[in-house]
Amino acid sequence: MTDRPKASPKLVLLITTLASFLTPFMSNAINLAITDIRTELGADPVAATWIVSVYLLAAAALLLPFGRVADLYGRKKIFVLGLLSYGLASALSALAGSVVALIVFRALQGIGGAMIFGTGVAILTAVFPPQERGRVLGINTAATYTGLTLGPVLGGLLTQQFGWRSIFWLNALVALAIVPLVLTKLRQEWAEATGQPFDWAGALCYGLSLVALVYGVSSISKVDFAQWLALAGLAGLLAFGWLELRADHPLLDLRRFRGNVPFVFSNLAALIHYSGTFAISFLLAQYLQEVQGIAPREAGLILLAQPIVMALLSPLAGWVSDRVEPRLVASLGMLLTAGGMLLLSTLGQNTPVGTLLAVLFLIGLGFALFSSPNVNAVMSSVVRADYGVAASTLGTMRLVGQSMSLAVVALLFSLYLPAGAEAGGGFIAPFLQAMQVAFRLYTGLVVLAIFFSLARGRVRGEAKA
């Protein structure tokens, strides 16, 4: 790490917290706009899932490479470049005139997001000592959930009052406004692996394999060779692991984490947990608008229930995980989430809104208890030089899980919804069937994640220096 005049830890927390707000805000806000985007641009239900998932897929494919680049050349540099890329891609998305153009610009937005995700948390973790890490990660996680909280409300309001494009304009303005603050106030640089070569073979193998896997899974019912593409993607990811174990300077040095059970199982828990939960907002936003006939603004207020609980309780959960084994706190959270997902699988056309609100409160509590303790467990299980890779690995697990969650939705939509399905009587019954099947599958995934969480072992009192 370069010994320049150090930035104030509180200032670092402020900047990374602002950046952490952006991407979850976008992810939840756009869910409220999907119905209007489908109407204006003529997107079918499967294409609509790609408007959301292509961003996640691009970010997931590039997060790990950019995390390594940040360790080599400086986390601040990549952080700033990510903010600029994200802001410009958001502006281009606001100008999109077709579904294809919007999907392309969303992919570019995901590239910028990949630069932001791992570097922000890695910078934050490098600045604060282990005994304060749970608290500040809890605050950072609260910012993420504040973005999720304001996403449905502002997304629904902006869509209803100014159109869906205004969501992208707001994201562009916020991202570009953070850049001067970083350049003028964050004078320190973090680059703890300088002089090492970049693992191009690993990066290409990983990125192409992940894209093949996600696209293959989501297209099995529509593309003849999709199942082979998915299998090739899975084989490619296994090959990536083989390459990394033999590379002199790997993209992801698996040898460093060999035998590190808390690190490996915490990441697996995150991967499976997000695979089983991310599509909640996407499905419920369409359920409220197209099945129950609720306007975007009111639908956003209903969906506020889950993230507001998450935002309020995440700092407390982080504080608790500094004193109680993170695996216990996180596992309890996943148990509550699984119960909520099972209840969501029973939603029907006439389910009272009050019932849905109660379930969302339960899931919000579960998410709060899982997220920041799980981040704390991951970052406390590695040494300082591995913060960038560890943060990027965890972020990759989250994004891959989110991508797979939406891949399942795309697959189920292609199986249950007729081609060109529009809102109305012919849409409601098959949509409800697809949604109920999805939530039953997701419940099983979250239950599976609990076992990995419980098996991760102790990290409290064993934080790495």
More confident residue, 412 or 371: 412
Instruction: Report helix angle 305-321 to 130-162, nearest 10.
Output: 170
Backbone angles phi, psi at 379, to 5 degrees: -70, -25
pLDDT at 150 over 90: no
The alpha helices in 42-129, defined as continuous H runs, are 45-73, 75-94, 99-127
Mean pLDDT of 127-147: 74
Query: How far, in Å, CA of 119 to CA of 116, rounded?
Result: 6
pLDDT in tens, 291-343: 988 988 888 889 888 878 877 887 787 777 777 777 788 888 889 999 999 99
**What mean pLDDT value characterizes the chain?**
83
Query: Distance between CA atoms of 450 and 440, rounded to whole angstroms?
Result: 16
The band of 269, judged by pLDDT with boundaries at 50, 70 and 90, is: confident
The pTM score is: 0.81
What tens digit of pLDDT does each residue of 389-400 get? 677 677 778 888
Please tell me the distance from the alpha carbon of residue 454 to that of residue 214, in angstroms, as a whole number: 28
> In angstroms, rounded to a whole number, what is the distance separating the alpha carbons of residues 115 and 192?
17
Which tokens belong to 144? 């993420």
Query: What pLDDT score does 195 carry?
Result: 64
Token pair in block for residue 41: 């641009």
pLDDT tens digits, one per residue of 153-188:
888 889 989 999 999 999 999 899 888 888 877 766
The CATH number, out of the four listed (3.40.109.10, 3.40.50.720, 1.20.1250.20, 2.60.120.460), of the domain defined by the range 9-198+251-454? 1.20.1250.20
pLDDT at 4 exceeding the cut of 50? no
pLDDT at 147: 77
**What values do phi and psi take at 321, rounded to 5?**
-70, -10
